[in-house]
Amino acid sequence: MRSILKKTALALFLLGGFTALLFVLFPGLKYEVYRRLSPAMRWDISYAVADKFVVGMIYFVERGDELLLVKHSYQDKWALPGGWLDRYESFEESAQRELQEELGIELADFEVLEVTKVPRSEIINVAIRGRLGGDRVEIRDAEITSYRFFHRDALPEDILYPHKPYIRRYLNQTTREDRSVEP
């Protein structure tokens, strides 16, 4: 039985090597073979070799001039609320679901601030801004240990390092917007 498995593995290895050699010697061959495959099989091949990524969501929940920060059970620093985008979910649907699950809140005046590829990772982060819908916040997930609204000008020093650039850009943008509204 072992010899049959070894022979089969060797045959597959040699067949793969021979096929690769043919594609190197005749570059157009792979496109000709690909063209003759069924659309379903072409889709499966494309999916298998395509880059994969996940989408992280970062939420700027505003209450007047205050910004909501949370502490997670696995971190000792303040952070923006966030979560992962589920498959087939819009940015707004993700924001509403995550914030409802974790803090029992809704986001009003939804706005996408930025979409950023995290260097050297398969993560794309989407920063969302909105006002707190209602006035009640309630921790509903054991992942969140505490929350607090901080004035934009008095944010704590101990903020999660990866969130600092997002907060800096947010503050720069909102400060410019405030100045453009003044008489």
For residue range 113-150, list pLDDT tens digits in order: 999 998 888 889 999 999 998 888 999 988 899 999 99
110 with 151, same domain: the answer is yes
14 with 59, same domain: the answer is no
32 with 115, same domain: the answer is no
Half-sphere exposure of residue 163: CA atoms within 13 angstroms, side-chain side: 23
91 with 151, same domain: the answer is yes
63 with 122, same domain: the answer is yes
**111 phi and psi angles, rounded to 5 deg:** -145, 135
User: What is residue 51's predicted lDDT score, i.e. its pLDDT?
Assistant: 63
**Two structure tokens written together for 111:** 């706005």
DSSP three-state, residue 62: strand
79 with 26, same domain: the answer is no
94 with 31, same domain: the answer is no
12 with 71, same domain: the answer is no
**49 phi and psi angles, rounded to 5 deg:** -100, -5
| CATH number (domain holding residue 128) | 3.90.79.10
110 with 155, same domain: the answer is yes
31 with 115, same domain: the answer is no
Domain of residue 22: give its range.
Answer: 2-49
Ranges under pLDDT 70 in the chain: 1, 30-31, 35, 47, 49-51, 176-183
